[in-house]
Structure 1
Amino acid sequence: MYFFEFPQNVIGFVTFKLYTKIYKCPFYKYQEAYVTHVKGRWGAISLSRYIFADDTYFQSEMIKHEYGHTLQSKKLLFFYLPVIGLPSLIWNKFFKGYRKRKRQSYYAFYTEAWANKLGGFHG
């Protein structure tokens, strides 16, 4: 299955190596994923079995949510980035004002609700 997640695996693997080998960022294994700490306050992102998390998310329950995205990748394979990755990124970056005006939870969007369900996160 690793091959069928090729785009997100290549990006995730290269990024993982960059942060852990060159920048010496700490990481740990969670289930089947590698969670890497990248300093700052920017959130978290999942690329197949590679999760990158900031200071806030690295040791938090939010990793369950990110692991849910890992499981989505395993289910959707090549379709993960267009069906989940890109819509999730757009929802996160460009709809903050909309969510605030409508008082809508970030986790109400289909990509995030499904990740919560798969990862066992109740945020």
Structure 2
Amino acid sequence: MPIPEHEVEFTAVRAQGPGGQNVNKVSSAVHLRFDIRASSLPEHVKDRLLAWPDQRVSKDGVVVIKAQTARTQEQNKAEAWARLAELVAQASHIPRPRRATKPTRASKLRRLRGKAVRAEVKAGRGKVSD
């Protein structure tokens, strides 16, 4: 489900960690902010995203993703965009309800045969009496 560009806000920030002079001079890391409530996503997807147990979703209903692995701002922007798309795809996927099934007669017999064999093995480990 595509997300319109005008609903996403990018901010360039300085990256953390090693990188020497480049990391200290260049704002190559990217903060992506996406307001779930103000978005054009379907209601059921919004509800699932807001209920998501994820630290990237704030209490205000804003998804914040920080991308800083690449050296260029464009690559980090693309990575943040991909992570947001993945998050929305996970929220929009509704798992099929599980239908309970009963074990077949053959599987029950196999299980009981296995239990009988195991019981015999264990019974043979007892103390030997004259």
| Higher Cα radius of gyration | 2
TM-score by length of 1: 0.26
Normalising by structure 2, we get a TM-score of 0.25
Q: Quick check: which one's helix share is greater?
A: 1
